Amino acid sequence: MKYILYDIESKDFFETLGALNVNEYTLINAAAPVAKCTGCFKCWLKNPGTCAFSDKMQHIGTKLLNSHEIIIICKGLYGGFSANIKRIIDRVIPGVLPFFVKKNKELHHKQRYKNNPEIKVIFYNGDEMSEKEREQAENLISAVALNFHSEKHQVVFAGCPQDAIKEVQTWTC
């Protein structure tokens, strides 16, 4: 499975994205309202592997961490994900175990599923991001990839959403 997460509400954007040959990708609109992670740990302890909030993102951790490729089209905010995308990223936590493993001389969560998705992130407001924010974005995506046991990741800064779609096109062709 492959996923594209995007945080733009515009219908045009969805149609342009849908018009690409992305049949093998499942599109996830992060702008749709879903519950936010409250750090309750029930996804690790009460109902292991499943988020406590029973909405359409309940199994997102399992879906993304069992996928081959995750493409995130996102507005860069303070050198990180937008709040909408972060809402989904926070809920990926049930996909890993609460226990620890040492990786790169640091502790990280153990894998629940033996899978290493490739993570590609496009920040579509790259031109508005400062040099420091870009540097932070690259460091952040490396850290997220490490925590989600991704062995390959890529960060791209696009000037506008349309440029981001062009980039996605080169990846999905």
Partner 1 sequence: MDVLILSTSPRKSFSTSLYFSKILKLFLAGHNVEIILLRSAFDYNRAIRQLDKIDVLVFATPVYVDSVPSTTLEYLEKMEQYITAKKYKFSVYTIANCGFYEGNQCRLALKTYELWCERADVKFLGGVGIGSGVMLGFVRILPLIGLAITAIQLMIQAVVLCFENTFSFPLLFAGFFPANFVIQTALWILFTLGAFVHIFNLRTSIIKKRNHVCQYTTAWFCPRCLFVCMASLYWFFRALFIHGVMPWTLFRKDKEYVDSLCK
Number of residues that bind partner 1 (CB under 8 A): 54
39 binds partner 1 (CB under 8 A): yes
Please tell me whether residue 89 binds partner 1 under the rule CB under 8 A: yes
Choose one: 14-22, 118-126, 128-136, 155-163; the region binding partner 1 (CB under 8 A): 128-136
- Out of 44, 118, 154, 172, the only residue in the binding site for partner 1 (CB under 8 A) is 44
Scanning 11-19, 87-95, 118-126, 151-159 for contacts with partner 1 by CB under 8 A, the matching segment is 87-95
- Residues 74 and 81 sit within 8 Å (Cβ to Cβ): yes
Greatest alpha-carbon pair distance for the chain in Å reads 45
Cα 149 from Cα 80, distance rounded (Å) = 19
Which lies closer to partner 1 via its Cβ, residue 48 or residue 159?
A: 48
Binding region for partner 1 (CB under 8 A)? 1, 36-42, 44-46, 48-50, 59, 61-63, 66, 77-84, 86-87, 89-90, 92-95, 97-100, 102, 106-108, 112-113, 130, 132-133, 136, 139-140, 143-144, 147
